[in-house]
Amino acid sequence: MTTTTATPGASLFFSALHVCPADYANPSHAAALVHVLDAYARDPMGGAHPLSDFAKANLVASLAARPQAYSVLAFDGENPVGLVNCIEGFSTFACRPLVNVHDVAVVASYRGQRVAEKMLAVAESIAIARGACKLTLEVLQGNVGADRLYRRLGFANYELDPAMGQAQFMQKLLD
């Protein structure tokens, strides 16, 4: 758990940032997770569409049913301001778990205040405790601030051999 308190003259405008692993059984954590993810989904970087009623009603229970999933929340006092959702996968080359950072969301008025950095530090600690060999994530090319953050934290474009180029993230919708 990380707690940061702003000091006089600091750029942080929240009074007390509390970052913690989400407890899917805790109603306030469950509500915070849905609230922040819905705010992110409504943002252009999240697709500019709210979560469906189905997702809002079933997301937390569906995550809780998957032992490979975990989330990290950030609160300013009682107000949820950030979320990281992680899903454990498996690296066949390393024969160890890996963790995909699936969502990084910070409420717009808290962006640029290192909220994501603090949540990612907790997510990384959990990944290490699970024996993961690496963290993976995706970022839109136009999300310059997030790209800058991830690179500052040590993330880089994936490649095995520079001669073969960098990996591309692709999708195929199934419904």
Q: Any idea what the CATH number is for the domain that residue 83 is in?
A: 3.40.630.30
CB 104 within 8 Å of CB 123: no
How is residue 85 written in tokens? Answer: 């959702």
Number of domains in the chain: 1
pLDDT at residue 50, as a whole number:
97
Domain-embedded: residue 170? no
Domain-embedded: residue 169? no
Domain-embedded: residue 171? no
Domain-embedded: residue 59? yes
Listed range (108-112, 145-149, 165-169) with the worst mean pLDDT: 165-169
Q: Where are the beta strands (DSSP E) in the chain?
A: 2-5, 16-21, 69-76, 79-91, 96-106, 135-137
Mean pLDDT of 43-52: 94
pLDDT band at 45 (very low <50, low <70, confident <90, very high): confident
Domain-embedded: residue 172? no
pLDDT at residue 147, as a whole number:
95
pLDDT at residue 168, as a whole number:
86
Partners of 79 in beta bridges: 76
pLDDT in tens, 55-107: 999 999 999 999 999 999 999 999 999 999 999 999 999 999 999 999 999 99
Entry pTM: 0.89
Does residue 4 have a pLDDT over 60?
no
The parent domain of residue 48 ranges over 2-156
Domain-embedded: residue 123? yes
Could you tell me which residues come within 8 angstroms of residue 155 by beta carbon, excluding any fewer than 6 positions away?
135, 137
pLDDT band at 12 (very low <50, low <70, confident <90, very high): very low
Domain-embedded: residue 167? no
State the residue for tokens 């692709």: 170
pLDDT at residue 37, as a whole number:
98
**Radius of gyration of the chain from Cα atoms?**
17
Domain-embedded: residue 168? no
